[in-house]
Amino acid sequence: MKKPLEVLRLYPEHDYTLNGALASRAGRDPSRPFMVFRERSWSWGEFAMKVDAAARVLAARGIRKGDRMAVMARNCDGHVLLLFALSRLGAIMVPVNPEFGVTEAKYVLHHAEVSAVAATADTLTVARDAAAGLKTPAWFVMLDTAADDVPALDDLLRAAPVVQIPADITGDATCLIVYTSGTTGFPKGAMHSQKSFVTGGEAFVQRVYLQDDDRVMIVLPLFHINAMFYSVAGTLAAGACMIIIPKFSASSFWQTAVDTGATQVNIIEAIGSILRNRPRSEFRPEHRIARVYGVRASMDETFKNDFKIPHRIGGYGMTEIPGVTCNPFEGVQKLGSMGPVGRHPDPARPWAQCRVVDDEGRDVPVGEPGELWVKTPIIMQGYFRDPEQTAGTFEGDWFKTGDLVKCDADGYYYFISRKRDIIRRRGENIAAAELDRVVGEHPAVAEAGTIAVASELGEDDIFVVVATRPGAKVTAEEIADWCRARLAPQKVPRYVAFIDELPHTPTHKIAKAVLRADAALRARAVDLQKI
């Protein structure tokens, strides 16, 4: 296995634009596989030519530097093609969740003031309704088959016009606006430069020791920072091959891994939990996946012993600051931690710095909880058209994450909770995330979400909403007993409710805002204080 810096040095240096990085990798051996989507496979050389053709098509249709184009579709090769083609022009891709309704999509399309929209047959109607009323009407293109009055991108590429492509695009040009999940208030559009994207890929090579012959299976949505900044950018940096899966399917996950020869995949906690709970008859021991990024401590044994995956790596990042900390691929891994500050494959490159501070911005002692502040070269350029939110998120060069963490004497960080996800009970601050984890470890529980509810005595009471595993049964009293055996008395929930499935945000986090707003859920909860 090559060291990360050895992988990067397989290729010529470049200018940290997407086009520069692509040319650097494609020039080594254009026939190597770059991307697989369903029955279609692209070599590096073929993809580079398609990017050139797509850039000419976009330019002929009026896309210029700084313009925004939305992509509203399930994962497909068109996402990646348009990202690189738009970057050639200094234009910007705005990925949109294909599950959005008109209201949600309208906010993103209008806030971003998109000039064009790429859709598919199942998203076109919503996308059109959402784009209605834009100051400058957006034009549409299909990523699958042509609609009655909307051409397919493939058809346009076959007759790409000869037009001038700008040659003055630098790595500082914005290439992506990724909108946050917006669990509170309106979504914010985090802007990232081409240099940030390419550098993020290089950091991912370090994080999972990505190799030039790896096959990266992408099951996370391409409207999310993880799939874009880790999987796509990592494939670019390593000169590897990506396998794009339209949507995660638990029942076919392992068979797909076998069929595609996947060697690396990224997951999130919800996916890990689903796979852990699926019937083992679906597992295929002949799979080649050697590295999984995103395995949580509670699932580590399953992925190690049941799924036979030797390298399980976890870390921390946000839409605004991808890939800040990570348990080292080679070195001490502390289960349950976010790891130490990550680094670039080149040790001479300056990298992220972290502080843990109190409410006044003063550094706290080792082991004490505080808010995580980060300074990193992989950071957003700001929130699009929102200077006030941008200014409020920074203290000088330090990005204020809003996450409570602690750091041990070895420099390993541990997540406690979002600052706004703290429950105040009996004079103590209780992290809802801790209850989520502990209750979620009960053998009958598939997932748990903990929220604060007002107490008649003032402060908060703890309300846990539980989704059980298929066929499993557990009572509210048993949940409380489970917590009593593992947590301090003040952390034992007062209310427990059971539902079939917890609501999730577009990025698969528990949608606690939905739980808080559901009055009927509270009305049918078991009040353990009255038992």
- One digit per residue, the tens of pLDDT, for the chain of length 531 reads 999 999 999 999 999 999 999 999 999 999 999 999 999 999 999 999 999 999 999 999 999 999 999 999 999 999 999 999 999 999 999 999 898 888 889 999 999 999 999 999 999 999 999 999 999 999 999 999 999 899 999 999 999 998 989 999 999 999 999 998 644 457 899 999 999 999 999 999 999 999 999 999 999 999 989 999 999 999 999 999 999 999 999 999 999 999 999 999 999 887 898 899 899 999 999 999 999 999 989 899 999 999 999 999 999 999 999 999 999 999 999 999 999 999 999 999 989 999 999 999 999 999 999 999 999 999 999 999 999 999 999 999 999 999 999 999 999 999 988 787 888 887 677 878 889 989 999 999 999 999 999 887 677 899 999 999 999 999 999 999 999 998 878 899 999 999 999 998 776 788 888 898 898 998 999 999 887
Instruction: Give the Cβ contact number of residue 430 at 10 Å.
Output: 22
Helix boundaries (H) for 307-465 = 387-393, 432-440
At residue 315, what are phi and psi to the nearest 5 degrees?
-160, -165
Angle at CA of residue 513, ends 511 and 518, nearest 5°: 105
Instruction: Give the Cβ contact number of residue 484 at 10 Å.
Output: 12
Phi-psi region for residue 113, left (φ > 0), alpha (ψ -120 to 50) or beta? Answer: left
Residue 292: closest CA among 274, 320, 271: 271
d(CA 172, CA 257): 36
| 121 contact partners, CB below 8 Å, separation of at least 6 | 142, 144, 145, 147
d(CA 11, CA 15): 13
Residue 222 DSSP label = T
- Distances from the Cα of 386 to the Cα of 189, 321, 376, 390, 394, angstroms: 8, 17, 21, 6, 13
Structure tokens at 61: 């249709």
Structure tokens at 360: 């006044």
Q: Model's pTM, two decimal places?
A: 0.86
Residue 383 in contact with residue 189, Cβ under 8 Å? yes
HSE at residue 39, side-chain half, CA atoms within 13 A, is 0
Structure tokens at 159: 């007759």
Segment (H or E) for 255: helix 253-260
d(CA 323, CA 207): 9
